[in-house]
Amino acid sequence: MYKRLMESYDPANDKNGVSGERIAFRLHALSQIGLGDRYSCNRVSFSKEEQQAKELVMHWMKEAGLDVRQDGVNNVIGRLKGATSETTIMSGSHLDSVPKGGQFDGPLGVISALEVAQAWKDEGFVPAKSYEVIVFTDEEGARFQSGLSGSQAMVGEWNLEKKKRLRDQEGKTFEDVLQENGLSFQTLADAKRDFSEVETFVEVHIEQGKRLEKAGLPVGVVEGIAGPSWLEVIFAGEAGHAGNTPMNDRSDALVAASQFISAVESLPPDYSHSAVATVGQLSVSPNGVNVIPGEVRLTVDIRDIHKKHRNDLRDRIRNVAKKIAERRAIDVSVDEIMSEDPVPVTEALQQKAAQAVKAVTGNPALHLPSGAGHDAMIIGRKTDIAMLFTRSQDGISHNPAEWSSLNDCVVTVHALKTLVEDLIKG
């Protein structure tokens, strides 16, 4: 990985204390922990691999002059005390991965935040405000199909009863895994922190999409993190013999579902440029070759960075399902099974981030939504957030082929450093 990162790197990007070679070395070193086939990353949450990666980052944090600790959910916090103020700017991401994931999702945000502190040390600069580099635990949620545990614990907003019900593929409960790591539900509760002195959290992340690539830009400004609403839709018709039931005497649940799915695809642009809707799961019953489908269960994932637009789109999708069912004389039920509020980035912080990007690249910044959830979404419940996206090659993520060039990564670090230095002034 180091060789590939360095082979096309432009050394002119090494300036203001930022070192592309150091970033490449650190990304490569992390990639060796939990390394799988096809250069995949395998560091599920609360594993020895995740903690080993954290230990390595804690070593680098100390080299950068940070005071380092782990809290009650094993979040890593590296703190540089401000020269004149305890007011804090935070930056960071996560080191856990999905199984057979990529090497940039999470680690780039951690290394970027750390590189800012390392560059300051090398330059002999001490910020007026305090600065913290954060490594969150269990962002991906791949082990328990329920992530963001580290950021939830830090803000003190997590569901104890839900956590008690979680089990991994080996049958271990969430509590069992906590105990294996020297933790408990009480230590999770103790990880809650006071955010009164935290002014802003800034997260760098790969885009995981193609907007920046299509625009030919290395870095972009996130305008908000979409909040998902999940609907479970059940079309109930009547199963029947595929040969002996005339076409004009059928209650085919799958035909109704297919019309609904087609309609869902067309609706988001009516509400917002950032709205999306996806039918992701489909279950057909009885699911026989020669049987008219009597029931179809499906899910719709609806997201937008604007809560009103998201909710309006959700309500319209619900009405479309009911109208199709009525027209075809079958039953339908629509239940919202999950809802998270979107987290906007304030106009002021978007402007500051855009100014930082323009100062580094010379080009106006592209503003784009984040359709995926991030720790910044949770931290945004307690303080202002900003995000910078780094261009993803071919938009690929959660895949060993995930890649961002070192040039793009370093340009993003410069944009982060410029933004943080703006925020951290006395």
* Residue numbering of the annotated binding site: 94, 105, 140, 205, 398
117-135: b (≥16 Cβ within 10 Å) or e: bbbbeeeeeebebbbbbbb
Structure tokens at 360: 């580094």
Cβ atoms 414, 16 nearer than 8 A? yes
CA angle 50, 51, 57 (to 5 degrees): 95
Which stretch of DSSP H or E encloses residue 6? Answer: helix 2-7
For 403, phi then psi, to 5°, come to: -155, 140
Which residues does the annotation place in the binding site for Zn(2+)?
94, 105, 140, 205, 398
Alpha-helical runs (H) found in 10-138 = 20-31, 48-63, 107-123
Distance CA 184, CA 46 (A): 12
Cβ atoms 226, 274 nearer than 8 A? yes
Contacts of 389 (CB under 8 A, 6+ apart): 204, 205, 206, 207, 212, 219, 220, 221, 222, 368, 370
Name the DSSP letter for residue 293: -
Cβ atoms 110, 150 nearer than 8 A? no
Q: Return the number of other C-beta atoms located less than 10 Å from residue 352's C-beta.
A: 19
Cβ atoms 266, 334 nearer than 8 A? no
